Amino acid sequence: MEIYSGKGVFPGISFGTLYLMQKADVSVDKSAAPDSDFEWEMFEQAKKQADNELSGLFEKTRIGMGEAEAMIIDVQRMILEDGDFNEAVEEYIKRDKKRAACAVESAGSDFYEFFAGLDDPTMKARATDVADVSGRIVGILLGKNDETHLNVPSVIVADDLTPSETLQLDKTLIRAFVIRRGSASSHTAILARSLNIPSIVQANIPLDASLNGKAVVVDGREGKIYIDPDAETTKNMCSLQEKDLAEKQCLDVMRGQPSVTKDGHSIQLFANIGSDGDLEATLAADAEGIGLFRSEFLYLGRDDFPDETVQFEAYRRVAEGMDGRLVTIRTMDIGADKKVDYFNLEPEENPALGYRAIRICFSEPDMFKTQLRAIYRASAYGMIAIMFPMISSLWEVRRCKELAAAARAELVENGVPTGEVLLGIMIETPAAAIISDTLAEEVDFFSIGTNDLTQYTLAIDRQNQRLEPFLDTHHPAVMRLLKTVADNAHAAGIWVGICGELAADESLLRDFMEMGFDELSVSPGYILGMRKKIRDMDLSDDKNGGKQ
Amino acid sequence: MRELKYIINDPMGLHARPAGLLVKAAAGFQSDIQIGTAAKMVNARRIMGVMGLVLKQGQEFIMTFDGADEAEAHAAFEVFLKENL
């Protein structure tokens, strides 16, 4: 048995036969063409065939999946006919004497780069479409037949999948997707969600022809792929699959239900997200709001600071998508432990205790103002709250409020629409927890970041495996701080939630309800399960003959 | 030559679907039709160019019509934009 792993983007257990989708090595002839007119003629013919293929695929998709998915193919047909695209190919053929396949590949690559470089996620997706179309034409010109035909229920394994490749597959025979590249918001992940099948991206599986045809079981939640599973694994996966199915049915019923105990205590179940790409998963999980919208994704993987528009678009998309439910945006929470060269952060001995988050924001007022402006602009499109991380002192809170007010005033002065925005802070330092009574007077809400609060309170580096025996996430010190913060919040009449990993700890759910927390923000996948547990709870009954 | 100014209402801006419809509609006229902003104007019959404009909700753009059927094109697009964007 071989085991591989990757990032699970859609949960579930599936058994199937491994189908390896391998791209034939496409090396086009780059030598000069003797007859340009002939090459152009070849291109025109290949284009016609490509259009026929896409036309067939359009119908199949429209009937099999729907109008929205079929639109992707429609756009690809338009790219085929596009004047700019055809002119680019013509130039490569007639002016540069390239052979047809080489010309198409070059033109495709030019447009791919152009769209990939646009700071807009939907336009970036067009880059994939261009690559898909030009790849199709090149394939036809080189006489390659890449049509995939499935005969048995299959687990598709590939380096990456273009939209038309995924749509072309017989969806009744697809049991799971496993790709080496991709991301949670890539086309593959989106399709997996529509098809409701387990999917794993960024998998470390080799694209070895010998794997073709082997029995495989995929665990989409854990991101694991078992090839030629042994008897024990098969047995475990089978029972997991049954449990999963039963749970799914049981949990589906939770959608639309309020998160309230039998004796009437309610709580809000929110989602933690890492980018605007997580919006769909959040809505699918029926989250009542977003308790933590991490904004770091906007700053990572770039050469320079994200401008106001790029940020605004991302915040707005989520605010609109949540349709009136609260979206809590946490301002930039980056430190020397992250790879952001353009921040010019000096290496530190203890980045967890270092120059990070709000401390950087105060030193880089322009950067902070840009983020605040983008958030206030987005607030016109939904319900937004701002949350400031890494707070330890009262003056920090006051400064944040001043800067936020100034950013807002500037927008209002220029007639830019803004909405009401709640201001709150993360309680993740022991200092903030201890003086939370004072801080509660200054803000609209608290959200407790238990990961960092625990590490700072117990003086334990949570990344250090060696310290595991010392790390008690239920440590009484942490529990007392949680209670203190909750009590102080309620005394001041503000709401309090938890957004750290502890929020999803079901063994503490009852304690959190009894402490009176107003909100728990967790990974979307946990929400329905937690709601069920809450609805089955009765806080007035005796727990182990003890408290009441 | 005629000109048309429009502010996009659609929250998704000028995304693939209306871009495709716009390009198809433009192909039905003889006049030269351009679309864009002061910064950049492109041929409305070319989908790559139109999508590359990346126009968002709230943004104002211009369309120009130049040719024998510019009057009809202008009228048709006034309707088209209201209905699709």
pLDDT digits (tens, 9 = 90+) for A93-117: 999 999 999 999 999 999 988 887 7
| Residue A463: how many other CB atoms lie within 10 Å | 9
| Residues constituting chain B | 85
Residue of B8, B9, B17, B47 best to disrupt the A interface, most CBs of A under 10 A? B47
Facing residue for A84 by CB, picked from B15, B24, B49: B49
Name the catalytic one among B2, B13, B15, B72.
B15
The whole-number pLDDT of residue B59 equals: 85
The whole-number pLDDT of residue A302 equals: 80
Contact predicate A311/A350, CB 8 Å = no
Measure the CA dihedral A340/A342/A343/A347, to 10°.
60
Query: What are the tokens at A452?
Result: 């960092």
Residue of A118, A123, A128, A308 best to disrupt the B interface, most CBs of B under 10 A? A123
What are the distances in angstroms from CA B77 to CA A109, B8, B40? 33, 13, 20
Show which residues on chain A lie within 8 Å of chain B, measured between beta carbons.
71-72, 74-75, 78-79, 81-85, 111, 114-115, 118, 120, 122-123, 126, 130, 313, 320
Query: Tens digits of per-residue pLDDT, A246-264?
Result: 877 878 889 999 999 999 9
Measured between alpha carbons, how far is A33 from A494 in angstroms, rounded to an integer? 74
The whole-number pLDDT of residue A521 equals: 96
Q: Which residues of A touch B45 (CB under 8 A)?
A: 83
| Residue in the structure block whose two tokens are 């995939």 | A148
Q: Which residues of A touch B47 (CB under 8 A)?
A: 75, 78-79, 81-82
Q: Which residues of B touch A80 (CB under 8 A)?
A: none
3-state class (DSSP) for residue A17: strand
Residue A77 has pLDDT above 60, yes or no: yes
Residue A546 has pLDDT above 60, yes or no: no
The whole-number pLDDT of residue A544 equals: 55
Q: Which residue of A has its CA nearest to B17?
A: A71
**Would you call A243 exposed, middle or buried from its count of C-beta atoms within 10 A (0-12, 13-18, 19+)?**
exposed
Q: Average pLDDT of A313-335?
A: 94
Q: Average pLDDT of A181-199?
A: 73
Facing residue for A123 by CB, picked from B45, B47, B51: B51
| Average pLDDT of the residues of chain A | 89
The residue type of A334 is I
Query: What are the tokens at A221?
Result: 């939640």
Catalytic, A499? Answer yes
